[in-house]
Amino acid sequence: MGAVMSVEEIVGSLESGMTIGIGGWGSRRKPMALVRAIHRSSLKDLTLVSYGGPDVGLLCAAGKVRRVVAPFVTLDSVALEPHFRAARQSGAIEFTEYDEGMFMFGLLAGAHRLPFLPTRAGLGSDVVRVNPGLRTVRSPYEDQEELVAVPALTMDAALVHLDLADTRGNGRYLGPDPYLDDLFAKAASRCYLSCERMVPAGELDGPPQTLLVSRMHVTGVVETPDGGHFTDLGSGRDEAFQRHYAASAADPTGWAAFEDRFLSGDEDAYRQAVRQWHEEQEGAGR
Amino acid sequence: MSATRAEICVVACAEAWRGDGEILAAAMGTCSILGARLARLTFEPGLLTTDGGALLTAEPVPFGAPAGPVEGWLPFREHLWLVQNGRRHVMMGASQIDRHGNTNISAVGDWARPKSQLLGVRGAPGNTICNPTSYWIPRHSARVFVPKVDMVSGVGTDRAAELGSGAARFHDLRRVVTDLAVFDFGAPDGAMRLLSAHPGVEVEQILAATGFEPVIEGDVPETRQPSAEELRLIREVLDPRSLRDREVRS
């Protein structure tokens, strides 16, 4: 069962050098409050496992990352993640690059305690060249087909963000897509769940099939209003702010100003700063 | 009223799905998405199309419009399973493509420390080895059409042939549609073959923008014009805001 924790307690339980899985997809329902807390922590040398978006970018920018395991890193409406690009192009990080289906098979293997799962995805592509540790496996049946054996993706901890959770750590999603968050929760030794809104146990009303994450897989749960900001929580992302993030990331001075304004304090300070920024934009637009 | 280049491209993309029947038409890029929906509205009514997200729409919807009534659910996990299942023809983009249809969306330069990090391979390896795959390239140039791609994300016909008939039995590159022309891989060695040049485009112009020699068999026909009904559907139903013109300028 998940204990109700603070963002600081969750990040305080992580250690440098860990492999951290991050749920969501691209710039969609990312546990950004937890990511921002890692950004201001002393953690380093992390391996991130993610369908990557600004979570990966932000932590690369802060020098927290040793390796990224991902099929892509994107902001969706902004195709390329500027911090991830910069980190790759400067050689600051190592990269394990998988096809996105391979990546899911790795999560499925990890979640089900299998050493690997076979798939055709990857065959013939340079994914095999840039991951020399990847092995193939031959079907033991008549077809004798050779397939990629995707190794289990396992993690020391997973961070996922859902719309609703109860105080035990059961989580519900309200948007159209669960992404792979339940698999991250199952494949990791520990899972920390942040949510937009927390309710008492037994009050997670709604269709049962939207109960995505179970308390049996959750170590800690935290309420983080706007904790997914600026990524898409199902009703659209804060596109204006994402553009501001991407534009700021494009040059060191702009990024220093962004960090100073939005990332130097806690979540309350972040929300306040974002509110003020939006008010300024509206004022400038009049 | 004559068709714009973007409208020629939408119809050329739509043609890629002709004959596909009841499968998902997965599309990336404006003209490609419009093409999938146009094909469904006209000659290929069995196709399934999305709202651009997790929903299979009951009817093809205008570009960027809400899903409206829904006939199916395709969140990313189900989409990834559908790639394995095979009832899907995807039209992807490519930052680099070579003569055998190997494509790169991952990184330009040395992969270990790229000159330009792009998206990552995304689903290109699985798409190409599991599904019929076409490409939509809105800016045909020698920077995209290269002799050799830096990182093979999407698998080409030569690499599929090397894998053999077992591993590559679902590999099926169909079309490459650009703002200048349409190609397939019908040459005997699986090389790219020029099928048609868009109205107003000279073959020399296509060759100058292609960093390798595509196969040309005889006279190159012109890409077909949209019908009046297709033009009406594109202009009044699917893309009244003319977002296609931002992708392909006339």
pLDDT of residue B85: 98
User: A25 and chain B: CB distance < 8 Å anywhere?
Assistant: yes
CA of B55, closest CA in chain A: separation in Å?
8
Residues of A in contact with B53 (CB under 8 A): 176-177
Which residues, in sequence order, are bridge partners of residue B91?
B27, B134
Percent of chain A residues past pLDDT 70, beyond the cut? 99
The answer to whether B120 contacts A52, with C-beta atoms less than 8 Å apart, is yes
Distance in Å, alpha carbon of A73 to nearest chain B alpha carbon = 6
Measure the CA angle with vertex B94, ends B189 and A132; round to 5°: 80
Q: Fill in the DSSP letter of residue B225.
A: P
Copy the structure tokens of residue B89: 């023809």
Domain coordinates in residue numbering, chain A: 3-98+154-223, 239-283
Residues 6+ apart with CB under 8 A from B54: A176, A177, B73, B74, B75, B76
- B66: nearest CA in chain A? A235
Chain A interface includes B13 (CB < 8 A) = no
Q: Please identify among residues 94-123 of chain B the ones whose CB lies closer than 8 Å to any CB of chain A.
A: 106-107, 111-123
Q: Show residues of chain A in contact with B83, CB under 8 Å.
A: 101, 121
Q: Specify the pTM.
A: 0.97
Instruction: Indicate the pLDDT class of residue A106, thresholds 50, 70 and 90.
Output: very high
The total of other beta-carbon atoms located within 10 Å of residue B62's CB is 16
Cα angle: A149, vertex A190, B82; to 5 degrees: 40
Give the model's pLDDT for residue B223.
98
* Strand bridging mode B88-92 / A220-223: unpaired
Residue with tokens 């991902």: A70
pLDDT in tens, A28-80: 999 999 999 999 999 999 999 999 999 999 999 999 999 999 999 999 999 99
CA distance, residue B219 to nearest chain A CA (Å): 34
Q: For residues B231 and B206, is the Cβ–Cβ distance under 8 A?
A: no
CB distance B168–A124 less than 8 Å? yes
User: Which stretches of chain B score pLDDT less than 70?
Assistant: 1
Determine the distance in angstroms separating the CA of B207 from the nearest CA of chain A, rounded to an integer: 27
In degrees, to the nearest 5, what angle opens at C-alpha A72 toward C-alphas B106 and A213? 165
CA–CA separation, A73 and A56 (whole Å): 7
Give the type of residue at B230. Answer: E
Average pLDDT, chain A: 97
Predicted confidence (pLDDT) per residue in A221-278, tens digit: 999 999 999 999 988 899 999 999 999 998 999 999 999 999 999 999 999 999 999 9
All residues of chain B having their beta carbon less than 8 Å from the beta carbon of residue A25 are 76
pLDDT at A286: 62
**For chain A, what percent of residues have pLDDT higher than 90?**
95
CATH number of B5-247: 3.40.1080.10
- The answer to whether the complex's ipTM is over 0.85 is yes
List the single residue in A73, A120, A143 with the smallest CB-CB distance to B120: A73
pLDDT-derived band at A164, boundaries 50, 70, 90: very high
Q: Which CATH superfamily is domain A3-98+154-223 in?
A: Glutaconate Coenzyme A-transferase (3.40.1080.10)
Comparing CA positions, the residue from B16, B19, B7, B6 lying closest to residue B195 is B16
- Domain limits, chain B: 5-247
Residue A266 CA to residue A102 CA, distance in Å, equals: 36
Look-up of token digits 């902004």: A78
Other beta carbons within 10 Å of B78: 16
For residues B62 and B51, is the Cβ–Cβ distance under 8 A?
no
* Residue of A27, A28, A108, A123 to mutate, testing the B interface (most B Cβ within 10 Å of its Cβ): A123
Q: Which of B84, B116, B151 sits opposite A126 (nearest CB)?
A: B151
Q: Do B117 and A98 touch (CB under 8 A)?
A: no
The 3-class secondary structure across chain A, one letter per residue, is CCEECCHHHHHHCCCCCCEEEECCECCECCCHHHHHHHHCCCCCCEEEEECECHHHHHHHHCCCEEEEEECCECCCCCCCCHHHHHHHHCCCCEEEECCHHHHHHHHHHHHCCCCEEEECCCCCCCHHHHCCCCEEEECCCCCCCEEEEEECCCEEEEEEEEEEEECCCCEECCCCCCCCHHHHHHHEEEEEEEEEEEECCCCCCCCHHHEEECHHHCCEEEECCCCCCCCECCCCCCHHHHHHHHHHHCCHHHHHHHHHHHHCCCHHHHHHHHHHHHHHHHHHHC
Output the CA–CA distances (angstroms, integers) from residue B169 to A57, A120, B87, B172, in the order listed.
Answer: 38, 10, 14, 8
Interchain pair A101, B123: CB under 8 A: yes
Nearest to A124 among B114, B163, B166 (CB): B163
A vs B, Cβ pairs < 8 A, gives 138
pLDDT at A285 over 80: no
Q: How far apart, in Å, are the Cα atoms of A284 and each of A20, A241, A254, A277?
A: 40, 15, 19, 11
Q: Which residues of A touch B106 (CB under 8 A)?
A: 97, 126
Judging contacts by C-beta atoms under 8 Å, the chain A residues touching residue B128 are: 124-125
Give yes or no for A177 touching B (CB within 8 A).
yes
Do the chains contact at B153 and A125, CB–CB below 8 Å?
yes
Q: Find residues 173-212 of chain B whose CB sits inside 8 Å of chain A.
A: none
d(CA B178, CA B197): 10
Q: In this complex, do B80 and A120 lie within 8 Å of one another by their Cβ atoms? A: no
Contact A126 B153 (CB under 8 A): yes
Report CB contact under 8 Å: B166, A146.
Answer: yes
Q: Any CB–CB contact under 8 A between A104 and chain B?
A: yes
pLDDT at position A97, please?
A: 98
* A250 touching chain B per CB within 8 A: no
Question: Rounded to an integer, what distance in angstroms lies between the CA atom of residue A253 and that of residue A251?
Answer: 6
Neighbours of B189 (CB within 10 A): 11
Calpha distance A268→A272 (Å, rounded): 6
Q: Which value, in Å, is the radius of gyration of the alpha carbons in chain B?
A: 17
A27/B contact by beta carbon, under 8 A? no
Query: A76 near A26, Cβ under 8 Å?
Result: yes
Whether residue A30 contacts residue A228, with contact meaning beta carbons closer than 8 Å, is answered with: yes
The pLDDT tens digits for B94-104 are 999 999 999 99
Please name the member of B111, B120, B129 whose beta carbon is closest to the beta carbon of A72. B120
Looking at chain B, which residue has its C-alpha nearest residue A53? Answer: B119
> Residue A176: its pLDDT value, please?
95
Among A286, A237, A261, residue whose Cα is nearest residue A32: A237
B interface mutation test: which of A75, A100, A128 has the most B CBs within 10 A?
A100
| Nearest by CB: B159 against A85, A97, A124 | A124
Written as six digits, the tokens of A150 are 């995707």
Report which secondary-structure segment, H or E, holds B81: helix B76-85
